[in-house]
Amino acid sequence: MKWSLEEARQDICSLLGAQTYAVLRGVENSLRSKDIIISDDFIVTDNRRQVLERIKKQFTQVEGPTVIMTGYFGSGKTAILMQLEQDLSQGQLCYGALKVDPIAIRLNEEDTLSKFLQKLFNELAKLKGEGWPVEVYEKTRNFIGLPVLEETSLHALTTVLIGMHITVMSEIMQFIEELFKEYKRSTSNQRVIGLIIDELENITRTAELAKTEWPASLVAQTASGRVGCNRMDGLDT
């Protein structure tokens, strides 16, 4: 289709003027409707390269698998996360000798407990089969103190968990932790789940998630007994 110079100018201004991830995605969707695709190829800058190298060093030397990145909007945090997800999924980056299977969750999209759990369970089902999260639930629910499922399905599992009162959120988080531990055991301790959480600041705006403990060790202890949490501030400039 034809794309006039004025339309091009307006679209470019919209891209450059986007102040939030949601607005940016809206602009990109509008461009896609015109058969214009915005590439997600990673653009390397000195700051991004330095942050990536620090993260990779931390992982390969087993210095702690939890990383928190800070930076201004547009500084490249999401781009770095996407590159890490790609490197992990392709086996180009490991945590020591452990292979990491990444699950990316964006809290501006998976912004309720329901959406968060659905995304997590669906991604685990892709890795281990649809019935696997339910099997782990049935094995662990008694000692955690979770209710019986009326039917064995991912939908039933998600429905039961989100229907529970917020005071038992710690039990839900314990179940997620057991899922990760069981995943590692099921791979003969060769692979672990790596949670890649984008738009983490949205956790303070998401009541269901904000009311619970959100321990950095949830990810850290699935890979080893050692908790490491490094703050990457190299993107602030």
> Residue 197's pLDDT is what?
83
> Residue 209's pLDDT is what?
52
For residue 92, the domain's CATH number is: 3.40.50
**In this structure, are 52 and 33 located in the same domain?**
no
Q: Is the pLDDT confidence value at 132 over 90?
A: yes
Q: 78 falls in which pLDDT band (50, 70, 90)?
A: confident
> Residue 221's pLDDT is what?
39
**In this structure, are 58 and 113 located in the same domain?**
yes
**In this structure, are 149 and 69 located in the same domain?**
yes
CA distance 29 to 35: 10
CB 236 within 8 A of CB 75: yes
Between 78 and 181, whose confidence is greater? 181
- Secondary structure (3-state) at 20: coil
Per-residue pLDDT of 13-70, as tens digits, reads: 666 566 555 666 677 777 777 666 655 555 567 777 888 888 899 899 988 878 877 7
CB 72 within 8 A of CB 236: yes
Between 153 and 71, whose confidence is greater? 153
pTM more than 0.85: no
Backbone angles phi, psi at 62, to 5 degrees: 55, 55
CA distance 118 to 115: 5
> Residue 38's pLDDT is what?
59
Counted domains in the chain: 2
Q: Which two tokens stand for residue 151?
A: 């039917």
**In this structure, are 81 and 4 located in the same domain?**
no
Q: Is the pLDDT confidence value at 139 over 50?
A: yes
> Residue 18's pLDDT is what?
60
Q: Please give the residue range of the domain that contains residue 98.
A: 46-235
Between 91 and 3, whose confidence is greater? 91
Per-residue pLDDT of 180-211, as tens digits, reads: 999 999 999 899 998 888 877 666 555 555 45
First vs last Cα of the chain: how many Å apart? Answer: 40
The highest-confidence range among 4-8, 80-84, 189-193, 202-206, by mean pLDDT, is: 189-193
**In this structure, are 131 and 22 located in the same domain?**
no
**In this structure, are 50 and 167 located in the same domain?**
yes
> Residue 172's pLDDT is what?
82
**In this structure, are 32 and 131 located in the same domain?**
no
**In this structure, are 16 and 58 located in the same domain?**
no
> Residue 214's pLDDT is what?
45
- Secondary structure (3-state) at 134: helix
Give the closest residue to 128 by CA, choosing from 162, 94, 179: 179
Phi-psi map region of 58: left, alpha, beta (phi>0 left; psi -120 to 50 alpha) = alpha
**In this structure, are 159 and 71 located in the same domain?**
yes
**In this structure, are 113 and 184 located in the same domain?**
yes
* DSSP per-residue string spanning 152-194: SSHHHHHHHHHTS-GGGHHHHHHHHHHHHHHHHHHTTTSEEEE
Q: Give, as one character, the DSSP assignment of residue 228.
A: -
**In this structure, are 71 and 155 located in the same domain?**
yes
Per-residue pLDDT of 141-180, as tens digits, reads: 888 888 888 888 888 888 888 777 555 677 888 888 899 9
CB 99 within 8 A of CB 91: yes
**In this structure, are 1 and 71 located in the same domain?**
no
For the CA atoms of the chain, what is the radius of gyration?
20
